Amino acid sequence: MTDTEFAAIVGRTKKIVLSAVRKHLAARFSYAIDDVVQETYLRGYRHLVKDLFRNESSIESLRMNKKLVREEEKAEKAGERQNEYPREELSQEDAEYLNSLIDRLPDKYREVMLLKGQGMSEYEIAGRLGINTGTVKSRFSRGKEMLHKISGEVVR
């Protein structure tokens, strides 16, 4: 199967697949609908190439529901573990310095850093910003790297 042939299939079936995913994906996971549709097509492509295709966009939605529930549970457990250890409060001076550094970040990193600083979980941030948890994790990680570089520039 060529890329052009597969693109034609996607073009003809996109509305149907999107409808099936919406129907079977839990409403609280609506922020992940694009990821589910993409995964559905990737799995479909792999199966078409191997001549094992079955019409399973609803099954992919159910699979993603289970995956997202597991992510929620992990986030809740992580939150419980974080609560076991008291957070060290920053001095007013340190908080102002950190905020001045965060203000220099690009918007998409700044908003994740600020929400994480407010104690929100990755799952909560994902829901609030309409992005998946993997994106939250990568933006937080990249934001920390940027803060480290920025703070080095400020100190010099």
* 78 and 106 fall within a common domain: no
Task: Read off the pLDDT band of 55 (50, 70, 90).
Answer: low
- Give the model's pLDDT for residue 155: 45
Same domain, 19 and 76: yes
Q: 78 with 121, same domain?
A: no
Last residue of a domain, one of 83, 112, 131: 83
Is 97 in the same domain as 77? no
Looking at the fold, whether 79 and 127 belong to one and the same domain comes out as no
Spatial separation of the C-alpha atoms in residues 51 and 1, rounded to whole Å: 10
**In a shared domain, residues 45 and 10:** yes
Q: What percent of the chain has pLDDT over 70?
A: 81
Give how many domains the chain has, as a whole number: 2
The residue with greater pLDDT, 55 or 119, is 119
Where is pLDDT greater, at 66 or 51?
A: 66
Q: Which residue has the tokens 């934001």?
A: 143
Span 60-84, mean pLDDT?
A: 71
Cα 49 to Cα 5, 6, 17, 58, distances in angstroms: 12, 10, 19, 20
State pTM to two decimals: 0.45
Residues 6+ apart with CB under 8 A from 77: none
φ/ψ of residue 59, rounded to 5:
-65, -40
Q: Which domain holds residue 69?
A: 3-83
Domain match, 35 and 91 both? no
CATH number for position 132: 1.10.10.10
